[in-house]
Amino acid sequence: MAAADPLPAPPDELHLTRRTTVAYAFGSVGTGVFATVPGLVLAYYLTNTLGVAAGLGALVVTLPKAWDVLVLPVVGRFSDRSAGRVGSRLPYLRIAGILLPLTFVLMFAVPPALGPIPAAAWVFLGFILASTAFALFQVPYIALSAELTDSPDERSTLMAWRVAFLTVAILLGGALAPVLRDALGGAYLGHFVMAVAMAGLMAAGIWLCITGLARARTRISEAAEGSLLDQIRGVRGDAPFVALLLAFVIQALGFAAMLGAAQYYATYIVGRPTAITILFVCLVAPAIVVMPLWTWVAHHLGKVHGYLIATLVFLVGAVVLLVGGQSLPFAAIAGAIAVCGVAYGGCQMFPLAMLPDAVSAARERTGEARAGVFTGVWTAGETLGFALGPGLVLVVLAISGFVSSRADEQVIQPDSAVSGVLMAFSAVPAVLVLLSIPFIRRYGRAAAAAAAAAGAGGAAVLAPPAAPPAPPGPPAAPEA
């Protein structure tokens, strides 16, 4: 059998069923909660409950993701080899379904008797273990998006469903986590109970995904020959993928900075710590509502053009928050954040829909299957971007003179620290998202050139399809 021949060898072109689409989307419930809740509450937990200095806290939330950069490509390579042997990526998902909820709870189970430095070490270890478990799920999960269907249009629809479920998970996790925490005093017990609830939500999404995909057909190829370094070199040399990855990671860093600064913004700019829930809903909920619109844009204007439009819309909202500063009324703040939320949905859907296109195109050009390595490198970049966001916020706060405190202490922040909070929430995300635009444009040119060189016609990445499918409606019950 040639290296690129699919092991299950489906006799006809693979297409999605509703059951497969919904089951796959449920996996984003687990990933969405894990990607959101630590970014939203972990930095604040370290500085305002455990008494960890902002500089040390920045290391605690950042270094585990440096570990991910090393682990994720390795998981991708092993996933490729395992899938090539057994014809499935589900074993990795099952292991993660057990380990990820348990290690997530460990992060927020710091005993109250520990001082700031031992507490920081506890959180650091828990974050390392949870990030490793997350890698076991996320890498093979994303790789499946290129193997469940042969149709680029269906991949756009699959990603629309995935991002819709992801957005719901982010909304539930981000809105409920602070409420649960604060309902029990917002200190040690509050964070622990919050973690247990969020772990249950993650486990439910992961296992619904695994169960629903158990009978799904996939087109999995033999793993490419060579060492892991050989595979990474091959991925690094794929110009469309690299450009898309850079755009996505830079934006992830910006979004994560806004998310990580949200609690500080609610406390020190809005003046109401509990306003974090309203602000978070304003940021995330619009992405659900406008997902059919972004799907229509993908089918009619092309994914690259849609990605650029969503990026520019985000910039509008962020600039309003920056220019308005501390003088904006709360309604205007909520409206500007909602504009960012509309854009956030598109900035998630478009690159995630283009990723399986890039992986599939690389397989057709080279005749080698590297889906796991591609997604391992992608997830390493994504994870690093979302992890560096809270760390970047803490660096800005440390530079601006932010004063950390334990849960039972009250401190008054200097004006410089308040200004630092505003910069971290608005200026930093705006600058980073602006820097991503050249890479989005570079992806469009590189993908068109690669397709033309392969004889496929380069205009496909920009032009709309001849007969676009309808945007997905509300989730329906999976097929029997």
In a domain, 7, yes or no: no
Q: Is residue 205 over pLDDT 90?
A: yes
Q: Whole-model pTM above 0.75?
A: no
What is the biggest distance separating any 2 CA atoms in the chain, rounded to whole angstroms?
69
Q: Look up the domain containing 266 and give its range.
A: 19-219+238-403+413-461
For residues 358 and 146, give the distance between their C-alpha atoms in angstroms, rounded to a whole number.
9
CATH number of the domain enclosing 30: 1.20.1250.20
Q: What is the mean pLDDT of residues 270-288?
A: 83
Please answer whether residues 4 and 138 qualify as being in contact, where contact means their C-beta atoms are separated by less than 8 angstroms: no
**Lowest model confidence (mean pLDDT) among 63-72, 118-127, 389-398:** 63-72
Residue 12: pLDDT band with limits 50, 70, 90: low
Please answer whether residues 13 and 474 qualify as being in contact, where contact means their C-beta atoms are separated by less than 8 angstroms: no
In a domain, 376, yes or no: yes
In a domain, 472, yes or no: no
Helix pair 291-301, 152-183: axis angle to 10 deg: 160
Q: What is the dihedral of CA 421, 425, 431, 435, to 10 degrees?
A: 130
pLDDT tens-digit series, residues 110-151? 999 888 999 999 999 999 999 899 988 988 888 887 777 777
In a domain, 146, yes or no: yes
For residue 406, the 8-state DSSP code is: B
Q: What is the dihedral of CA 42, 46, 50, 54, to 10 degrees?
A: -170
The pLDDT value recorded for residue 368 is 64
Residue 472: pLDDT band with limits 50, 70, 90: very low
For residues 279 and 298, give the distance between their C-alpha atoms in angstroms, rounded to a whole number.
28
In a domain, 452, yes or no: yes
User: Is the sign of the CA dihedral 125, 409, 186, 169 positive or negative?
Assistant: negative
List the one residue out of 321, 313, 325, 348 whose CA is nearest residue 337: 321
- The overall average pLDDT reported for the chain is 81
325: exposed, middle or buried (Cβ count in 10 Å: 0-12, 13-18, 19+) = exposed
In a domain, 392, yes or no: yes
Residue 210: pLDDT band with limits 50, 70, 90: very high
In a domain, 377, yes or no: yes
Please answer whether residues 443 and 243 qualify as being in contact, where contact means their C-beta atoms are separated by less than 8 angstroms: yes
* Beta bridge partners of residue 50, listed in sequence order: 406
In a domain, 6, yes or no: no
pLDDT tens-digit series, residues 367-389? 666 667 777 788 778 877 877 78
For residues 309 and 189, give the distance between their C-alpha atoms in angstroms, rounded to a whole number.
43
Q: Give the count of domains, the chain.
A: 1
* Beta bridge partners of residue 221, listed in sequence order: 6
Cα angle value 352/467/310 (rounded, 5°): 35
